[in-house]
Amino acid sequence: MTSYALHDTAIIIPARNEADRIGDCIAALGPQLAGRARLVVVVNNSTDDTARIAGDTPYAVKVIDCQLEGEGGVGSARKMGADYALSHMPALRYILTSDADSIVAGDWLERTIQRLQTADVVCGLPIPLGDNPAALSGMNAEYGTLEGTYRDLVLRYVDRYAPDHCNPMPHHGEASGASLAFRKSAYCRIGGFAEIRTGEDRDIVRRAKTAGLKVRHASDVIVRVSCRLDGRAPGGMAEALQQRTVGRPYTIDEGLPPAEWLAVNQMALPAWPFDGAGWTPLRVDELPAHIETLTQAMSRPATGPVPAPNRKEAASPVAPPSPGALPIWPPKSPISPDPSLNDVTKEY
């Protein structure tokens, strides 16, 4: 007999005005629950039918329909969902999160749980869903290559001077809320998600690594993420895509530091992903000099400081690692659902 009390896994989904997407999100997750996992959908500050659609499914879904005030945002929603699971699921062992506009792979839950047997935290690999071809085609390929090349160099530089033995290179280095997972003990040890409007995913992964937990960037745990330009969280993926489709040089990921910052902090690098503190974010057209500097640094023995970048020269592009083949979705043999476990709670 399937019982709410026996579920050992909670999957937290924050959702705000996601009536058009939450059904597909749950359809991808539902067949994987197999009587051990429960979805907790935190519908926050919505004005559409997100809560009704999320609750009207054949799967085990708890819907919390709430209004967040002040600085409350996606961080608060994830924390609220996790708090609910901690309080109401006595057999809870694992806390996972995804996003309402994402589609997890057909083996996402299975692979995540497998990875959690040897890690405290698992960061899955987000891959573009391709739901907005116009946005993807509007990106400047040269700029994209520069940013991808520089990110790869930064990851390899960090691996050289602050190696993470849980993540030998190459690894994807992502820390996306669309695919995060925690052992219950690890989540509680670091205090859970911060109640911030954006960046809660990188923040909690950074704190986990700083606390000495085993964090794995797993390339076989895959989620497809939306390429829409009308996002819900300020500073999120949608905003980043907007900046990359305007045809002008843009500010790159603030977590990628200048080469000279890496040189100064070479022997005392903080946990990856970096928080963007201590430097002014780079523009994509500034990257050639920084790429050249790090390329030269990586060709030398790992001793001594790295010189400041020569802004008059550019490096040859280095292709970022391939994410590999995508698993099949949806699965061919769905699990029988248990609709008796659904309920909707409104909180204001």
Return d(Cα 33, Cα 171) in angstroms, integer. 28
User: H-helix or E-strand containing 184?
Assistant: helix 184-189
User: H-helix or E-strand containing 240?
Assistant: helix 237-243
Name the 3-class secondary structure at 331: coil
Q: Mean pLDDT for the chain?
A: 84
- Report percent pLDDT > 90 for the chain: 68
pTM here is: 0.84
- Report percent pLDDT > 70 for the chain: 77
Q: Are 7 and 96 in contact (CB under 8 A)?
A: no
Q: How far is CA 171 from CA 159, 166, 218, 273, in A?
A: 10, 10, 8, 13
- Alpha carbons within 13 angstroms on the beta-carbon side of residue 123 total 24
Task: Tell me the pLDDT tens digit for each residue of 101-150.
Answer: 999 999 999 999 999 999 999 999 999 887 655 555 666 888 889 999 99
**For range 18-28, the mean pLDDT:** 96
Return d(Cα 344, Cα 157) in angstroms, integer. 48
Q: How far is CA 128 from CA 30, 132, 219, 227, 301, in A?
A: 21, 9, 14, 6, 37
User: Which domains are delineated in the chain?
Assistant: 4-321+340-347 (3.90.550.10)
Quick one: pLDDT at residue 137?
Answer: 62
Task: Tell me the pLDDT tens digit for each residue of 34-93.
Answer: 889 999 999 999 999 999 999 999 998 999 999 988 666 899 999 999 999 999 999 999
Grade residue 5 by pLDDT with cuts at 50, 70 and 90. confident
**For range 212-238, the mean pLDDT:** 78
